[in-house]
Structure 1
């Protein structure tokens, strides 16, 4: 796929994940489309519907006009209502209808990306809730969202894989960008605090969140010699926690905690950075 150099890594990551998803769902019998996924409230069909809906928005198609049922417990605010509309309109679609629409949508999007000639840094496009964001950030979000949902589908279908695919590294950077807010605001870490996150597995990294005297948090690659809290876990656990797919207590045996246990619990409790 030939795109602007700035967009290329995100286009490659999105393509890798959306094609993997297509391969996963094409052979599914009707019943498996109803399997629950780790994404709260959504089945396999719902996740594919969500992906189709957002890609159609990127293509400039109008959003469906649809009134949501009032008994959807996972719909709690304007953001979740916005995301639910393209999902709910497809809840009774058959497996062939879903796969046909997915394949056609992917073909259209790939053609759009191949022909993209606009400046990614200055061109504004529709964001996840109708807001305006740059073309570059938009595709970055689509690569991230698609990889996260690929993992949701793999978990539901019992087909693990692609934990180190191109989308994984896009996800790493986006999830890490949310860590300072988790520590300083979500967990209320006091000034002059250092928190080390040590992740191992197919994607490895060590990062330190430092809260300065004014309470502002920053993220860097320099290890702290005496951190107030150190959290070590595998990459899969990190993703599931940061994406809000699991509660800390359910993966407590996969997280090694050192230092201030009360602060560590607060950090893990606020770990999710996705809406």
Structure 2
């Protein structure tokens, strides 16, 4: 079970709650590091996710299939809200979302497959890692300096915060981009993530025309390796920064570069 993901989501949520009172009215309107979103829009996004977890909306065929455009749609629906209305939704539904994620750690429902439109299929318990990733990523990389506009300080993220986010990213990596990412991997590639949240995995090519690439734990001895801190992986793996600023490649650079250039975890 991903109890660690649940705790990571709780800690990042508390840290965000501590930051919110320090943001003045004008700062809510600053552009965040998430393209097209203001600081308040990032909170609107997190509030919308929490609201949907508690009160899932009926599917609408007009919704964008692309998950990023879907998030833009939900944020856009809240553009006419006041700052207080956005914050109230986030404050109201986030604790309820955490309760639901805690329930999702219990058997037998923990292993039920859950389809997240545009992102893939995950066991229910892993949805806690999804929230851990979302709150950590938006808080640390979109809102706070140096990447974001808010010159506020939090303690450096530790293993307990980063590891669940990385776990979700690696679970989503084979699913989110489908064939376009599969086509970039024609031989095994080791991804060596260091520091807090660090892990080593091997990305394997798809084994057939109807299969996707896979991510397996450990180092299989592949010639080509990509080395980065896990913290930086959260940033470049989501294209917030360039992988070229953070990664060391050994082996065949072209093999790694075609994969890294295409990777974009949502």
Question: What is the alpha-carbon distance in structure 1 between the residues aligned to residue 163 and residue 88 of structure 2?
Answer: 29
Residue 81 (structure 2) pairs with residue 105 (structure 1):
no
Residue 44 (structure 2) pairs with residue 49 (structure 1):
yes
Matches within 5 A, 1:117-266: 119-121=108-110, 127=116, 135-151=124-140, 152-154=142-144, 155-156=147-148, 157-158=150-151, 159=153, 161-164=155-158, 166-178=160-172, 186=181, 188-190=184-186, 193-211=187-205, 217-224=214-221, 227=223, 229-248=224-243, 252-266=244-258
Q: Shift of residue 96 of structure 1?
A: 3.1
Q: Is the contact made by 2:47 and 2:86 (CA closer than 8 Å) also made in structure 1?
A: no
| SS in structure 2 at match of 1:121 | helix
Note closer, same or farther for the CA distance 1:38–1:113 as it changes in structure 2 (3 Å cut). same
Question: What is the alpha-carbon distance in structure 2 between the residues aligned to residue 133 and residue 258 of structure 1?
Answer: 32
Q: Shift of residue 84 of structure 1?
A: 2.3
Q: Shift of residue 28 of structure 1?
A: 0.6
Note closer, same or farther for the CA distance 1:149–1:223 as it changes in structure 2 (3 Å cut). same
Q: Is the contact made by 2:9 and 2:135 (CA closer than 8 Å) also made in structure 1?
A: yes
| SS in structure 1 at match of 2:165 | helix
Question: What is the alpha-carbon distance in structure 1 between the residues aligned to residue 216 and residue 103 of structure 2?
Answer: 36
Unaligned runs of 5+ in 2: none
Question: What is the alpha-carbon distance in structure 1 between the residues aligned to residue 234 and residue 17 of structure 2?
Answer: 22
TM-score (norm 2): 0.75
**1:119-174: CA deviations, max 9, x gaps?**
43366778457999754243332232222222222241243545325341111112
| SS in structure 2 at match of 1:231 | strand
Question: What is the alpha-carbon distance in structure 2 between the residues aligned to residue 211 and residue 179 of structure 1?
Answer: 13
Provide the aligned C-alpha RMSD in A: 3.7
Q: Is the contact made by 1:233 and 1:254 (CA closer than 8 Å) also made in structure 2?
A: yes
**1:24-53: CA deviations, max 9, x gaps?**
122211121122223232221111101111
Question: What is the alpha-carbon distance in structure 2 between the residues aligned to residue 36 and residue 98 of structure 1?
Answer: 16
**1:76-124: CA deviations, max 9, x gaps?**
8543343223311322433333333322223444555677778433667
Note closer, same or farther for the CA distance 1:183–1:204 as it changes in structure 2 (3 Å cut). farther
Unaligned runs of 5+ in 1: 1-5, 69-75
Residue 1 (structure 2) pairs with residue 25 (structure 1):
no
